[in-house]
């Protein structure tokens, strides 16, 4: 990556209005579609085995999310993923709950083995379990395990041969050589379901317009975290319900200038 131009990358998303094909979970489907629309992307949810591959090949990116997986949606994910790979369309993967059950862990590993995934995004425990480390996880939430997220992102990127985004209080992005930490965000994000899932789809929108996946991921994380900071400020004293609505507003209001002004990220190593 030469130089990260955050505002240009955000602007490109809004100009191109990328079609983001999501095969995602039933909890977050509506929130994800609204968040992508607020950003300036074009969401489509299509999880039938009969059409998943056809939809994937006309999209700018494909987002796979195993939050409420079942055998049919997993089959659709593999079909869509293979079509996306064939057409050189980036595949972004959220291994929701990997480590919580054997089915989730094995399915996440199967997806990583059978598809060429461009970016994987999860909390620390999910990413650790995908690479065979046994970190504690509580359902779909990160749990109390406090491993080193920086080391995890780097080793996972090397093992999985893709860009890894590990989120938490601070987010780490690594391709195994270059590594960035992004500090934007707000703790109230953990009180609204689907904020991790929507983030994965937002990374999908950025990856749909920016081939450099480190740039796409860092820009998406900074933009998303800034929108959360602004929304939290505007809804201070209120609760997660008001925050959720204001967050959608801010996803459409945060400008390239805001991103240049408020982004908080640094390069840790390599590249």
- How many of the other CB atoms lie within 10 Å of CB of 14? 16
Structure tokens at 61: 């990116």
Within 202-261, which residues bind ligand TZP (CB under 6 A)?
none
CA distance 247 to 268: 29
**Binder among 196, 204, 208, 225 for ligand TZP (CB under 6 A):** 196
Q: Which is nearer to ligand ATP, 113 or 187 (CB)?
A: 187
Question: Is position 46 an interface residue for ligand TZP (rule: CB under 6 A)?
Answer: no
Residue with structure tokens 């999209």? 59
Q: Return the beta strands (E) in 32-152 as ranges.
A: 42-45, 61-65, 91-94, 119-123
Q: Is 196 in the site for Mg ion (CB under 5 A)?
A: yes
Residue 140: closest CA among 228, 68, 35: 68
Q: Which is nearer to ligand ATP, 19 or 172 (CB)?
A: 172
Q: How far is the CB of 267 from ligand ATP (least distance, A)?
A: 18
State the nearest-atom distance from the C-beta of 191 to Mg ion, in Å.
9
Strand partners of residue 22: 45, 63
Rounded to a whole number of angstroms, the minimum distance from the CB of residue 68 to ligand TZP is: 5
* Interaction between residue 193 and ligand TZP (CB under 6 A): yes
Residues 6+ apart with CB under 8 A from 202: 35, 36, 39, 41, 220, 223, 224
Site size for ligand TZP, by CB under 6 A? 12
Using CB under 6 A, which of 83, 153, 163, 197 touches ligand TZP? 197
Residue number with CB closer to ligand TZP (133 or 141):
141
- Residue 268 is inside which H or E element, if any? strand 265-269
19 vs 205, beta carbon nearer ligand ATP:
205
Least separation in angstroms between CB 165 and ligand ATP: 9
Q: How many residues does the chain have?
A: 271
CA–CA gap between residue 164 and residue 158 (Å, rounded) = 9
Given 68, 249, 252, 264, the residue binding ligand TZP (CB under 6 A): 68
Segment interacting with ligand TZP, rule: CB under 6 A, options 113-121, 178-186, 195-203, 232-240: 195-203
Q: Which does 142 bind (CB under 5 to 8 A by kind): ligand TZP, Mg ion, ligand ATP, none?
A: ligand ATP
Cα 119 from Cα 216, distance rounded (Å): 10
Please report whether residue 18 would count as binding Mg ion according to CB under 5 A: no
Q: Where does this chain bind ligand TZP (CB under 6 A)?
A: 25, 27-28, 67-68, 96, 140, 193-197
């Amino acid at each position: 990556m030469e130089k990260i131009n955050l505002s240009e990358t955000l602007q490109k998303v809004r100009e191109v209005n990328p079609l983001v094909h999501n095969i995602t979970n039933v909890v977050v489907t509506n929130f994800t579609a609204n968040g992508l629309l607020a950003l300036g992307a074009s969401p489509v949810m299509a999880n039938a085995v009969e059409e998943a591959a056809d939809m994937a090949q006309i999209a700018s990116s494909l987002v796979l999310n195993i939050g409420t997986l079942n055998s049919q949606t997993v089959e659709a994910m593999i079909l869509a993923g293979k079509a996306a790979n064939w057409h050189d369309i980036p595949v972004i993967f959220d291994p929701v709950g990997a480590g919580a059950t054997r089915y989730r862990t094995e399915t996440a590993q199967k997806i990583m083995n059978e598809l060429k995934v461009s970016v994987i995004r999860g909390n620390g425990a999910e990413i650790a379990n995908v690479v065979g480390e046994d970190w504690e996880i509580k359902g779909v939430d990160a749990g109390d395990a406090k491993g080193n997220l920086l080391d995890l992102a780097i080793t996972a990127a090397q093992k999985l041969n893709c860009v890894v985004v590990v989120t938490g209080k601070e987010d780490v992005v690594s391709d195994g050589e270059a590594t960035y930490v992004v500090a934007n965000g707000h703790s109230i994000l953990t009180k609204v379901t689907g904020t991790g899932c929507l983030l994965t789809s937002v990374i999908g929108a950025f990856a749909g317009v920016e081939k450099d996946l480190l740039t796409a991921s860092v820009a998406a994380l900074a933009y998303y975290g800034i929108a959360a900071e602004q929304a939290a400020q505007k809804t201070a004293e209120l609760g997660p319900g008001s925050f959720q609505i204001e967050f959608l507003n801010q996803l459409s209001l945060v400008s390239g200038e805001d991103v240049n002004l408020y982004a908080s990220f640094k390069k840790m190593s390599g590249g």
